[in-house]
Amino acid sequence: MSYSPVGHLPVSYCINPWCPARQNIASDDCCQSCGTPLLVQGRYRLLRPLRKLDEWEPSEIFEVSDRGTPKVLKVLKKPALFPLFKREVETLQQINHPGIPKVNQDGFFSVAIKQRELHCLVMEKIQGTNLDTWLQKHGPIDQKTAIDWITQLAEILAIIHEMGLFHRDVKLTNIMLRPTGQLALIDFGTVRLMTNTYLAKVAGQRDITSVVSPGYTPLEQMNGKAVPQSDFYALGRCLIHLLTGQHPIDLPEDDKTGQLNWRDHTTQPIDNWLVQLLDTLTAPFPGQRPIDARSIIERVASQPRLDFSRTASVPSASGASRWADRWLDRWTKNWSEKRLFQMLVASNLVLLVALTVLIGLRLSDRERSEREQIVNLSASAIAVRSF
């Protein structure tokens, strides 16, 4: 809930983007500045803007109260973008998945403001934080988290792509992390329908609206020729950002291939197979990337992984034992599966060498004993002959 600077009273915002003074006391029925009703459609009250109100932005986003239930309201200010806005609405209304905000059938409507029409979309308010904010607070993720998140996001993209759509604006600020650990992809205003007309436009290089997010957008999309594999490029760039803690535009690129040189910038060990997967996702050309989202999921699932989360902890009484437990837990988290495998092989080799040496020593003792027996027998035989 927002509060007014005078008296710290709850605020209700006016939906009119051309209103000179949009903050009102929540108990007011109409805007004290322009007279616009503050209760939109008789049910939605605007509590606070979710991003800075800017006259140059094509849309505004508010947290609203729907009879006590928090939701998100998106208001389109530029009529020229109505086809994109409507496409977002239709997409969200067709999908029922925890990784995608829900939109009810009555969540799309228009409001007339002094002979101007505002198109509005009300959707579920995803509880949690976006990954860009999360990264700033918690720092780079480890490989286990990366595997979990890339699987979740690939599943969401698979659902979208199988509906004949692709997102075109996958980036950290458009990915929300729920308290349950479930990721959700938001902002479907740039979603594109994969129709024969669209594919013909791409093939004929005709004008297509391009959406560009620096660091995440592939070259073909900058040129207005986005395809589903463009989402994979953005997905890979998101994971690289999360693993390194550095925005993709700040990482060095290979002058010959255009690939990011990011592996040396991670804070924790990353297995080669995951490095290769992310490099494949962010390949310069769409044909070099995975054919569909399901193949990404299958590729991740096929990799053998050790599960340290199920390792039982043994209670310890002494401080030394507790220190050892903490050291072991840190060690298992920081070492990659490949290195653990290498350590296992090395320990087995050491054990084999030790056994070989032990067997050799036992054989030497046996030979020495046999030689002593032969010497004793020979001495006894000489003594008998002398006698």
Domain ranges of the chain: 11-124, 129-301
**Is the predicted pLDDT of residue 335 greater than 60, yes or no?**
no
Both tokens of 118, joined, read: 């505002």
**9, 28 Cβ separation under 8 angstroms:** no
- Number of Cα atoms under 13 Å in the Cβ half of residue 225: 11
Q: Round the average pLDDT of the chain to a whole number and report it.
A: 79
**Is the predicted pLDDT of residue 202 greater than 70, yes or no?**
no
What's the pLDDT score for residue 281? Answer: 96
Percent residues over pLDDT 90 in the chain: 48
**Is the predicted pLDDT of residue 245 greater than 60, yes or no?**
yes
> Confidence class of residue 332 from pLDDT cuts 50, 70 and 90?
very low
What's the pLDDT score for residue 257? Answer: 83
> Confidence class of residue 361 from pLDDT cuts 50, 70 and 90?
low
Choose between 364 and 27: higher pLDDT: 27
Q: How far apart are the first and last CA of the chain?
A: 118
Q: How far is CA 70 from the centre of its chain?
A: 25
CATH of 129-301, one of 3.40.50.2030, 1.10.510.10, 3.40.50.300, 3.20.20.70: 1.10.510.10
pLDDT tens column, 249-271: 999 988 888 889 999 999 899 99
Both tokens of 113, joined, read: 């403001």
Topology of domain 11-124, per CATH?
Phosphorylase Kinase; domain 1 (3.30.200)
pLDDT tens column, 40-93: 999 999 999 988 888 888 889 899 999 999 999 999 998 888 988 888 788 788
User: Rounded to whole angstroms, what are the CA distances from 133 to 49, 168, 206, 214, 234?
Assistant: 17, 21, 38, 18, 18
Choose between 92 and 128: higher pLDDT: 128
For 230-246, what is the mean pLDDT?
Answer: 95
**Is the predicted pLDDT of residue 384 greater than 70, yes or no?**
no
pTM over 0.85: no
**40, 118 Cβ separation under 8 angstroms:** no
Cα dihedral 316, 321, 326, 327, rounded to 10, equals: -150
Distance between CA 387 and CA 377 in Å, rounded?
15
